[in-house]
Amino acid sequence: MSDTMQSVDSGVAAYATELRREIHRHPELGFEEVRTAAVVERELDALGIEHRRVAKTGVVGLIRGGTPGRTIGLRADMDALPIDEESGEPFSSQVSGCMHACGHDAHTAMLLGAARVLQSERATLSGNVVLLFQPAEEGPGGALPMIEAGVMDVEPRIEAVAMLHVDVRLDVGGISITPGPVNAAADEFSVTIRGAGGHGAAPHKALDTIPCAAATVLALQNIAARETDPLASVVVTIGTIAGGYRNNVIADSVKFGGTVRTTDPTVRDGMEVRLRRIVDGVAGAYGCAAELDVIYGYPPVVNDPGLARAFTRHVRQTTPIVVHALAPTMGAEDFAYFAQRVPGLLVRLGVRDEVGGIVHNAHSSRFRIDERAIPVGIATLVSFARGVGSGAVPLTA
Ligand SMILES: [Zn+2]
Ligand SMILES: [Zn+2]
């Protein structure tokens, strides 16, 4: 750990840690990050970094390097969650019902720390660094509005993009870079089955939607169990189901809904057709009618494989940071939209400290991070900017 911490100046680590605590005390939900965006702007002004507002509460900063090179994007999300904090931290949330339980406070602070380092060396920096402070990752999503506002289209154009996400599976001091899919697409669907109600004692005079719904729910599991390559990752979860009036009345309709998680874009593309075939087919077999609505969410995050391998080598050669390659998770992350447009990397940052009791998962009211991870995260972002900007890390392997 001590070696790793030395890879960033202790003044920068203290600066980012202070900011992280300030942001942690004042969490804000998606597109309400008014105070957080103001903190970001205040710090960028103090550092002499040009910036502008996009997508309501998003902030984009630009560091122009003094020598030619690639333009890279570094992204941090800024929003919190509607959770009452129970972490016990002395700098706990001062807003009841709102908490930084996903570490976005640390993401924002680490990006400011990296900005401070990169701005201080801008005269010799190769290429440019675009700082993407993004709102509303937890929903409804701020990445797409930022892209629609043109952040990927203005000059200098971003050629590669990276982000950090704190990860409590990984001990503090380490990071994880996994080539290929690292997060899942999160799409939702709802189904309404319609039949005809009637007396519970006379099923032959009705069209019962409950057995039809039960059969449909079971049949949908075939998508994962029988229709998808066992080495591809698919989850079909039915999270809600409702229908009927009372025990002796046949239900004339049943509604249920769920989420579908996939990591492979081609598997995801075929999902709506499969859902529809099963829902319509089972309903038809039971003499019922069915409606299906699919609501597409974030796409999967796919780390550019060549960039992932090249950057892993670079970090190992130029920093003391320990690089792992954790398995993907079926969670979702709207950084996916940035990584669809240019080679992208989602880097996981270890924040676990078993001895200190820092073991609670993100989105828990007891979530904490080991702040010794902050200089590791800053060093990772700085390394990406220097390495990819200068061409030491090639974009095509
Ligand atoms: Zn989250
Ligand atoms: Zn998050």
**pLDDT tens across 168-207, in order?**
999 999 999 999 999 999 999 999 999 999 999 999 999 9
CA 362 to ligand 1 centroid distance, Å = 6
Ligand nearest 103 Cα, by number? 2
Ligand nearest 108 Cα, by number? 2
CA 136 to ligand 2 centroid distance, Å = 10
CA 27 to ligand 1 centroid distance, Å = 13
Give residues whose Cβ lies within 5 Å of ion ligand 1: 102
Residue range 138-148: average pLDDT? Answer: 97
CA 378 to ligand 2 centroid distance, Å = 17
**pLDDT tens across 66-111, in order?**
999 999 999 999 999 999 999 999 999 999 999 999 999 999 999 9
Residue listed under structure tokens 């937890």: 138
Q: Which helix (H) or strand (E) holds 385?
A: helix 373-390
Answer whether residue 260 shows pLDDT above 70.
yes
CA 124 to ligand 2 centroid distance, Å = 33
Query: Which candidate, 343, 380, 306, 388, places its Cα nearest to that of 152?
Result: 343
Q: What's the rounded Cα separation, in Å, for the pair 214 and 257?
A: 13
Residue 227 appears among annotated catalytic residues: no
- The one catalytic residue in 15, 286, 298, 337 is 298
AA letter at 368: R
What 3-state DSSP class applies to 348?
A: strand
Q: What is the pLDDT of residue 15?
A: 98
**pLDDT tens across 17-74, in order?**
999 999 999 999 999 999 999 999 999 999 999 999 999 999 999 999 999 999 999 9
Residue 41 appears among annotated catalytic residues: no
The distance from CA 160 to its chain's CA centroid, rounded to whole angstroms, is 17
Q: What's the rounded Cα separation, in Å, for the pair 23 and 91?
A: 9
DSSP string, 37-84: HHHHHHHHHHHT-EEEEETTTEEEEEEE-SEEEEEEEEEEE---BS--
Q: Which helix (H) or strand (E) holds 5?
A: helix 2-5
Answer whether residue 209 shows pLDDT above 50.
yes
- The one catalytic residue in 43, 138, 333, 371 is 371
The distance from CA 189 to its chain's CA centroid, rounded to whole angstroms, is 20
CA 301 to ligand 2 centroid distance, Å = 13
Q: What is the pLDDT of residue 1?
A: 45
Give residues whose Cβ lies within 5 Å of ion ligand 2: 102
Answer whether residue 7 shows pLDDT above 80.
no
> What is the chain's Cα-based Rg?
24
Query: Which candidate, 204, 273, 217, places its Cα nearest to that of 243?
Result: 217
